[in-house]
């Protein structure tokens, strides 16, 4: 359990970087950042594949199909819909919806485990306390005075409704991904975390290139002359390429590797709660970027999130017989 916890913590610290990159590249559309990150992930995976070429060669056709499904849903669909939701509905509401992932994943995984009669499901009375505490922590952060004051006027309309719908797709995508990914890994022998991360990177590359090409064609056709994105690298090419390579290696490949190890070591309902580490890391990086300390409500929320994770450790710890 300790190894799994440390791996999930490392993944959260790396994934949290993705939330500060849009602040550093504010003039870039979120969907372009998503494509750039996963093209970089795929290119890096091509080089890293040489190290694990023997293990990759042993993957079956079914394994590669599964990797493609995970890459499409957990990478491209998730980040593209999230970025688009923020553009359409503003950041606060989609962020709040994504912040519920630790609770949504834990509940969904536990429902599935108990339905199939597996030995990983736990009684709801043991799971209720950590979930309630995590939900309270997320609410404290999201509804604190500093956050509420930053909410823009979103009076409804088609754009706002479309943004909420896309945010729901993002939540569904990253509810499905960790559960499905964890089940695949636990059904295989240990030691496949790095190979599986590289495999997902390899299949992500053609998917990301195709999606970027499609978006570029749409941008050329729909945008007025001189108003579209400056393809391929935008107004700050060196910063863009550098940050995409950094997030592609750290957040995508290494973060996925660590998350795979956590998924293989821990029950699905518990590892789902540990996505809270990503939320905590994103908050910490945001405070550093804005050069301020958290408010009292934010500090209380962070403390509740940590307490919820600790309660989750106790809930999933095997009891002595």
Tell me, yes or no, whether 114 lies in a domain: yes
Residue 225 lies in a domain: yes
pLDDT(56) > 50 = yes
Mean pLDDT of 63-89: 86
Q: Are 242 and 292 spatial neighbours (Cβ–Cβ below 8 Å)?
A: no
Report the C-alpha gap between 179 and 83 in whole angstroms: 23
Is 231 in a helix, a strand, or coil? coil
Tens digit of each residue's pLDDT (9 = 90 or more) over 253-262 = 888 889 888 8
10 to each of 16, 200, 277, 314, how far by Cα in Å? 10, 19, 8, 21
Q: Which residue has the higher pLDDT, 220 or 97?
A: 220
Length of the chain as a residue count: 321
162 assigned to some structural domain:
yes
pLDDT, mean of residues 2-29 = 86
User: What is the residue range of 251's domain?
Assistant: 2-316
The confidence score (pLDDT) of residue 172 equals 94
Nearest-angstrom CA–CA distance, 274 and 309: 7
Q: Which of 28-32, 62-66, 267-271, 296-300: highest mean pLDDT?
A: 62-66
Cis peptide before 232 (omega within 30 of 0): yes
**190 contacts 261 by C-beta, under 8 angstroms:** no
Residue 114 is predicted with a pLDDT of 61
**pTM, rounded to two decimals:** 0.76
- Does the CA dihedral 159-20-240-49 come out positive or negative? negative
Average pLDDT of the residues of the chain: 81
- Identify whether 95 is part of a domain: yes
Which among 87, 75, 85 has a CA at the least distance from the CA of 37?
Answer: 75
Question: Which tokens sit at 119?
Answer: 């030995």
- Are the CB atoms for 147 and 51 separated by under 8 Å? no
Distance CA 225, CA 258 (A): 44
Q: Is 283:305 a contact under the CB 8 Å cutoff?
A: no
Residue 73: CB atoms within 10 A of its CB come to 18
For residue 278, name the pLDDT band (cuts at 50, 70, 90).
confident
| % of the chain at pLDDT higher than 70 | 86
Q: Classify residue 321: in a domain, yes or no.
A: no
Are 35 and 253 in contact by the 8 Å Cβ rule? The answer is no
> Is pLDDT above 90 for 302?
no
The pLDDT tens digits of the residues spanning 160-211 come to 788 889 889 998 998 999 889 988 888 887 778 889 989 999 999 999 999 8
Domain membership of residue 80 (yes or no) is: yes
Q: What is the pLDDT of residue 276?
A: 79
Question: If pLDDT is split at 50, 70 and 90, which confidence band does 68 have?
Answer: very high
Hey, is 224 helix, strand or coil? coil
Nearest to 255 by CA among 67, 75, 59: 75
Tokens of residue 199, six digits: 């495999």
pLDDT for the residue numbered 321 = 43
Position 233 in a domain: yes
Q: Give alpha helix (H) positions in the chain.
A: 2-15, 17-24, 30-48, 53-57, 61-71, 78-89, 92-99, 101-115, 124-142, 145-149, 157-186, 193-222, 237-246, 255-265, 268-273, 276-290, 296-316
Residue with tokens 């009375």: 125
What token pair was written down for 160? 């706002």
Q: Count up the domains in the chain and report the number.
A: 1
Greatest Cα pair distance in the chain: 72
Quick one: how far is CA 273 from the chain centroid?
Answer: 13
Q: pLDDT tier at 64 (50, 70, 90 boundaries)? A: very high
Residues 102-160: tens digit of each pLDDT: 778 877 887 776 655 454 556 777 778 888 888 888 777 766 655 544 444 444 578 87
| Mean pLDDT, residues 274-292 taken together | 82
Instruction: Categorize the per-residue pLDDT at 92 as very low, low, confident or very high, splitting at 50, 70 and 90.
Output: low
């Amino acid at each position: 359990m300790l190894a799994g916890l440390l791996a999930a913590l490392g993944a959260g610290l790396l994934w949290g970087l993705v939330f500060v990159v849009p602040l550093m590249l504010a003039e870039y559309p979120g969907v372009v950042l998503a494509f750039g990150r996963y093209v970089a992930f795929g290119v890096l995976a091509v080089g890293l594949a040489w190290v694990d070429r023997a293990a990759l060669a042993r993957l079956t056709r079914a394994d590669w199909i599964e990797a493609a499904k995970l890459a499409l849903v957990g990478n491209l669909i998730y980040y593209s819909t999230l970025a688009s939701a923020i553009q359409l509905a503003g950041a606060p509401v989609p962020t709040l919806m994504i912040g519920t992932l630790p609770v949504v994943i834990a509940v969904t995984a536990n429902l599935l485990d108990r339905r199939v009669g597996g030995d990983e499901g736990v009684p709801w009375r043991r799971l209720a306390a950590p979930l309630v505490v995590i939900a309270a922590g997320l609410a404290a952060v999201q509804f604190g005075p500093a956050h509420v004051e930053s909410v823009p006027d979103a009076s409804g309309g088609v754009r706002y409704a479309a943004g909420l719908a896309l945010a729901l797709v993002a939540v569904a995508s990253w509810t499905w991904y960790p559960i499905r990914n964890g089940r695949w890994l636990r059904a295989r022998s240990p030691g496949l975390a790095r190979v599986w991360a590289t495999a997902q990177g390899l299949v992500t590359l053609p998917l990301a290139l195709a999606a970027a090409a499609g978006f570029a064609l749409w941008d050329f056709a729909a945008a007025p002359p001189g108003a579209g994105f400056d393809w391929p690298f935008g107004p700050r090419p060196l910063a863009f390429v550098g940050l995409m390579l950094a997030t592609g290696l750290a957040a995508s490949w290494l973060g996925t590797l660590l998350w795979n190890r956590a998924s293989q070591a821990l029950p699905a309902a518990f590892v789902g709660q540990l996505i809270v580490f990503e939320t905590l890391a994103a908050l910490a990086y945001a405070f550093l970027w804005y050069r301020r300390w958290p408010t009292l409500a934010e500090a209380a929320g962070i403390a509740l999130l940590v307490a919820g994770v600790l309660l989750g450790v106790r809930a999933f710890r095997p009891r002595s017989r």
